[in-house]
Amino acid sequence: MKIGIVGGTGDIGEGLAHRLSHQHEIIIGSRNKERACTMSDGLTENLGERGIKADCSGATNQEAVDKADIVVLSVNYKHLESTLAELTGFEDKIVITPVNPISKGDHFYFDPPAEGSAALEIKRLLPESSRIVASFNNISAQKWKRLDEKLDYSVVVCSDDQDAKRTVMELVNSISELKALDGGPLEMSSVVESITPLILNIAKFNHMKDVGLRFF
């Protein structure tokens, strides 16, 4: 599959690209195409040294949307609305959102938009035919990037589009030892997103690192 990553030079984008480019065509999108190309070259070299052939290219965010079957919105929540306002062409595409609206005071807390979650806001902002799937919300960016570490977390996948959900669950299950779990409709994304600030608090208050979770 062709997977376009909007904001692909960020932590999660970089991790996803590293973990997926040996089995899928990855288009790393960025507002700065040059930066995306540099990252793509680095990634190709990096994986090449490990004997892994990467299928990866740099692009603008718009090109990443246009070329992809699946678009991943690897965007910090605070840039989400402005980023989507600049992009078109999401019709009929599977759109994965790992976006978590989080704020921080003494502790991290869930700070959702009026819709209830970032995923539900994205549903409002994008064309009706786009197939929104919340996934990869609860994985530490640092873990994504350390290629030698296995990822053995549960990944909850929520969507109102059953086919899109199944496709994304297969994608999740193809990465390291991640285990996809059907979390139900997109409405449940509010819970999944809110788990991320809880994870950050658990790390902070219990002196743990790169906390993840597993349902079993």
Candidates 78, 79, 107, 124; binder of a copy of itself (CB under 8 A) is: 107
Handedness of CA 24, 101, 169, 91 (dihedral sign): negative
For residues 28 and 120, which CB has a smaller minimum distance to a copy of itself in the complex? 120
For residues 81 and 210, which CB has a smaller minimum distance to a copy of itself in the complex? 210
Cβ at position 209, least distance to a copy of itself in Å: 11
Give the rounded distance of the alpha carbon of 126 from its chain centre: 17
Cα gap 98→139, rounded to integer Å? 9
Candidates 21, 60, 83, 190; binder of a copy of itself (CB under 8 A) is: 190
| Strand, helix or coil for residue 185 | coil
Is 194 a binding residue for a copy of itself by CB under 8 A? The answer is yes
> What residues have CB less than 8 Å from 179, skipping those under 6 apart?
152, 153, 154, 155, 172, 173, 214
- Residues 35-54 contacting a copy of itself, CB under 8 A: none
User: Helix 118-125 to helix 77-85 angle, to the nearest 10 degrees?
Assistant: 10
Cβ at position 154, least distance to a copy of itself in Å: 8
Is 76 a binding residue for a copy of itself by CB under 8 A? The answer is no
- Residues 155-174 contacting a copy of itself, CB under 8 A: 156
Task: With contacts defined by CB under 8 A, name the span among 46-54, 56-64, 69-77, 177-185 that binds a copy of itself.
Answer: 177-185
> What residues have CB less than 8 Å from 212, skipping those under 6 apart?
138, 139, 140, 143, 151, 153, 199
Q: Give the β-pairing of 94-97 and 131-134.
A: parallel
For residues 3 and 151, which CB has a smaller minimum distance to a copy of itself in the complex? 151
Q: Give the β-pairing of 56-60 and 102-104.
A: unpaired
Binding site for a copy of itself (CB under 8 A): 106-107, 109-110, 154, 156, 181-185, 187-188, 190-192, 194-195, 197-199, 201-202, 204-206, 208, 211-216
